[in-house]
């Protein structure tokens, strides 16, 4: 298998039919990483022993005639802000360069229980702050479709690894499209669950009210399989929600589905080719019997990015205060006094974009500005949620572009943070409202992939998956 191009289901079938062993499968991917990843730079750490030990256990079960779970022996990659016990976890930052995770994140624990094999930890924008993969403290990850272009961010390495067939699936985290946008730039599926559907225990926090772990995979079905394993209540995360997995998933007749088109998402600023491709997808649904109607999301479109860039840095400022060089992480060796120690440790250990967001958040939360900025942003956040509530009274799902453009060139937006932030314009409202959304490949502009987005109401993941699988089966 020179180019394996395996989905979870195909790999599972190959294992139970003994076309290959779990050890052979994982060695193949490890060899591909060693051979090819020098081009893409998607991995920060390779966990060969961890993968092969688990693969050996799965092979023993298969040899004994035991039934194995669908994820058993399946190679995956983990974004390097999710803890795997005994493995380095840097969050893409020099300040955590030598930090070894003391425990497994809940999602990792659940994947290990299903027998999944972890190939390694993937590169990301520092502390998940970025939309391009260029803000890692270690190196830039490149897009497998064009090495001169970004893979998107912040789950850059996870999306690139799946797109380049260096892993069958991966985990990422999504705070403002950080799963969905790199999935679009790399032409794979990225799913952001409802806030609380997947435990955040063991995820290095960026903005706690927005962060959500989710899968990056080859197909909607694969994303659904992973989601069903990692989702559910966790006593270690008070924001997590109990999901009854014994309920039989509902099947949907496309002719009964109402699809909403937010008119503001197809306005000035979108690449005409992106709009053409996304509208062609919606036309296919309409031709197949779905009812399509225009809806309006005025607050979600006009104010979501500004609201996000007030709430997010405020939470960043609070969450990253712990990295002071004393408890853990990088510390300076040249300080003259305690204040100098704090200052130099953070300056040496944190990158420019991270420092920018900490400073912005600290300013927003300071006396005299909290009510003027943070409190008003939270009020707008409520209006954004109400936008979606009104829309879902009329329609079942919303369909939109993921990004206004395909992948841009490396370095193109690094000197213009505002332009970089605008690449997330179609995704931030979803995180502010805590909704589920999926990014699905639907075409290309030249060799650059384009995805469309399906947004659903809270905890209606099954509906999103069913509607997404319909497009893949056309």
- Give me the active site residues, please: 79, 154, 178
What number of other Cβ atoms are within 10 A of residue 405's Cβ? 18
Tokens of residue 59, six digits: 């092979």
CA distance 94 to 28: 31
In the structure encoding, which two tokens stand for residue 154, read together?
């912040």
Helices (H), 151-219: 156-163, 180-186
* Residue 283 burial (10 A CB sphere; 0-12, 13-18, 19+): exposed
DSSP element (H, E) containing 260: strand 258-262
CB within 8 Å of 121: residues ≥ 6 apart: 43, 44, 45, 47, 77, 78, 79, 80, 84, 87, 88, 89, 90
Q: Give the 3-state secondary structure of residue 264.
A: helix
Q: Find the radius of gyration of the CA atoms of the chain.
A: 21
C-alpha–C-alpha distance, residues 163 and 141, integer Å: 12
The rounded distance, in Å, linking the Cα atoms of 419 and 412 is 10
Virtual torsion, Cα 142, 146, 149, 153, nearest 10 deg: -50
């Amino acid at each position: 298998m020179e180019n394996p191009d395996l989905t979870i289901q195909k790999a599972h079938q190959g294992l139970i039919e003994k076309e290959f062993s779990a050890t052979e499968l994982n060695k193949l991917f490890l060899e591909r990483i060693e051979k090819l990843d020098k081009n893409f730079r998607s991995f920060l750490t390779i966990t060969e022993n961890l993968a092969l030990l688990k693969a050996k256990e799965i092979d023993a079960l298969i040899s004994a005639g035991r039934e194995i779970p669908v994820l058993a022996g399946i190679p995956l990659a983990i974004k390097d802000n999710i803890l795997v016990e005994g493995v380095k976890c840097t969050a893409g930052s020099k300040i955590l360069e030598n930090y070894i995770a003391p425990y497994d994140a809940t999602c990792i624990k659940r994947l290990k229980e299903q027998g999944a094999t972890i190939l390694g930890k993937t590169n990301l924008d520092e502390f998940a702050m970025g939309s391009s993969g260029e803000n890692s403290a270690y190196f830039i990850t490149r897009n497998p479709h064009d090495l001169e272009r970004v893979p998107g961010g912040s789950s850059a390495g996870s999306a690139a690894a799946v797109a380049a067939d260096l892993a069958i699936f991966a985990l990422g985290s999504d705070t403002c499209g950080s799963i969905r946008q790199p999935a679009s730039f790399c032409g794979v599926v990225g799913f952001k669950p409802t806030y609380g559907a997947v435990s955040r225990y063991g995820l290095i926090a960026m903005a706690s009210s927005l962060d959500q772990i989710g899968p990056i995979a080859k197909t909607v079905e694969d994303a659904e399989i992973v989601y069903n394993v990692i989702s559910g209540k966790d006593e270690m995360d008070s924001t997590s929600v109990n999901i009854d997995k014994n309920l039989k998933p509902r099947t949907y007749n496309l002719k009964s589905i109402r699809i909403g088109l937010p008119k503001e998402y197809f306005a000035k600023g979108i690449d005409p080719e992106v709009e053409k491709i996304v509208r062609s997808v919606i036309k296919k649904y309409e031709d197949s019997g779905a009812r399509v109607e225009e809806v309006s999301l005025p607050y979600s479109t006009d104010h979501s990015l500004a609201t996000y860039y007030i709430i997010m840095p405020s939470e960043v400022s609070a969450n990253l205060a712990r990295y002071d060089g004393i408890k853990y992480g990088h510390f300076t060796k040249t300080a003259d006094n305690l204040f100098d120690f704090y200052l130099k440790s953070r300056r040496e250990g944190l990158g420019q974009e991270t420092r920018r967001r900490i400073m912005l958040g600290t300013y927003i939360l300071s006396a005299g500005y909290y009510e003027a900025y943070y409190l008003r942003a939270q009020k707008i956040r409520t209006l954004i949620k109400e936008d979606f509530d009104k829309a879902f009274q009329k329609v079942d799902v919303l369909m939109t572009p993921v990004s206004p453009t395909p992948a841009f060139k490396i370095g193109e937006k690094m000197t213009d943070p505002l332009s970089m932030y605008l690449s997330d314009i179609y995704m931030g409202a979803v995180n502010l409202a805590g909704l589920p959304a999926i990014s699905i490949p639907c075409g290309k502009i030249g060799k650059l992939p384009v995805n469309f987005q399906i947004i659903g109401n809270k905890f209606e993941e099954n509906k999103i998956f069913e509607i997404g699988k319909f497009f893949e089966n056309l």
